[in-house]
Amino acid sequence: MPLETIVNYAYVLAAVMFILGLMWMTSVPTARRGNLVSSLGMLIAAVATLFLVQGNQMLSLAWIAGALVVGSVIGLLLAVRTPMTGMPQMVALLNGFGGIASLLVAWGDYETWRGKLETAQSGLAALGGLIASTPAELPIARHGYEFLAIGLTVLVGGVTFTGSLVAFGKLQGLKITPGRPIQFKGQQIINTLLVLIALAASVALIFEPTWGWLIVPIAIASLVLGVLLVIGIGGADMPVVISLLNSYSGIAAAFAGFVLNNSALIITGALVGASGIILTSIMCKAMNRSLLNVLFGGVGGASGSAGGGGSGKTGGQVREFSMEDAGIVLDAARQVMVVPGYGMAVAQAQHSVKELADELERRGINVKYAIHPVAGRMPGHMNVLLAEANVPYESLLDLDQSNAEFEQTDVALVIGANDVTNPAARTATDSPIYGMPILDVDKARTIFVIKRSMNTGFAGVENDLYYDPKTAMLFGDAKKVVSALTSALKNG
């Protein structure tokens, strides 16, 4: 059987494993299996590709093996040393790496083709033959769509790379990339011009494929565009941005597959691109906002900034409870609903939360977890953290399941969740979060909110929940406060 046929069979097997992996990753209990199967599928595709290219004299398997070793070591170190709180930044970086890899592959493949073209033309001239009038007349002819794919790969890959770097900076809290949206007059006009320049140069490659300089403006336009697109997005929308950039990286990979005529890369990129778009749509629906509003609306401010924009209740009175009083209330409850947010992630309090839940359950108290789709800084952020702490999957409730439980909940324990619990989203038409589906925490009989201070969340608005007469504030680091509550229960 020809080697190429065997490689194609391997690609089909890898594609099936990718699809199965995605299917399993839609469920928390099977997510780990899905990740493992998808990784194995990628290994099969990579090995098959190595066999396919080993006869190419321009490729050195030693160099490829060396790159694999270096990349694997770097990836292992990042995986081991990155805390769960840094996972959103990690995902943003990986998206960026995928984008720049696609850009470099497309550009490198074009330069390789152009080198072969020049060699062929020189050979014809040396033989005294007529030099072909167009590259299509040479043995190394390429189709027009391949040159268009090169331009589009550079465009999407560049946007993904710099956009992901900006997202990383926002998530990491770097001063050079503040969490607030940065917008200026004429920004969208500049963005449109950059897109048109890149598309025009990509189309021009079809008609003048030997004009290698056309790739330079495409690359420059895409890299600048990535920065301008993401700096205009606020920190509250980072979960959507991450899923969108993930989709971009997949689309860039699919375009690169057309450049290389590699079916496995096309399939993989298409799956990643489609799943990223679907996830982006889900996230936008969870905030009741359109993708255009997320990208260009400039919603939100920097985390921790003062702000208003609630329903006009700011400046009211808040209650503060001691740990002992809070412990007494918790001990008397029949059902407790934990509402985690980014504050839990920052404090790395998930294990302390599990310890508190275990203590409550030992007393016969039912404990559940209300998970909002955009809580945290990436899709599924809270699920990942709680799974790390071995919280049972069946205890994690989605938005609709949680809201059906709050009226029967004695105590809602909010840990660092802000905008996703703000009742102003229902009534304050002037609020940037108006219309966003929220967790109905205010319907619980008693509400405890663990926060470091009264600072606002990513959307930059006050939370009316804090001024509800049923609400008591527990100020401090989430991990320390939750541990203190556990001690108060044990010693009560």
DSSP string, 248-278: HHHHHHHHHHHHHT-HHHHHHHHHHHHHHHH
Burial-class residue 288 by CB neighbours within 10 Å (0-12, 13-18, 19+).
middle
Residues 393 and 348: beta-carbon distance below 8 Å: no
Q: Please give the single-letter amino acid code of residue 107.
A: W
Dihedral sign, Cα of residue 84, residue 89, residue 95, residue 96: negative
Query: What single DSSP character describes residue 369?
Result: E
Q: Which two tokens stand for residue 359?
A: 């203590």
Mark whether 419 is an active-site residue: yes
Residues 478 and 346: beta-carbon distance below 8 Å: yes
DSSP string, 454-489: S---TT----GGGGSTTEEEEES-HHHHHHHHHHHH
How far CA 262 is from CA of 24, 111, 254, 255, 267, in Å, comes to 26, 18, 9, 10, 9
Cβ contacts of 34-41, under 8 Å, gap ≥ 24: 41/13, 41/14, 41/15, 41/16, 41/17
Element (H, E) at 386: helix 381-388
CA distance linking residue 89 with residue 81, whole number of Å? 13
Q: Please give the single-letter amino acid code of residue 275.
A: S
Residues 335 and 409: beta-carbon distance below 8 Å: yes
Contacts of 297 by beta carbon, 8 Å cutoff, 6+ apart: 289
Task: Please identify which of the residues 109, 419, 440, 464 carries the catalytic annotation.
Answer: 419
Q: Which two tokens stand for residue 466?
A: 């804090």
Residues 226 and 248: beta-carbon distance below 8 Å: no
Dihedral sign, Cα of residue 224, residue 146, residue 253, residue 70: negative
Catalytic residues: 419
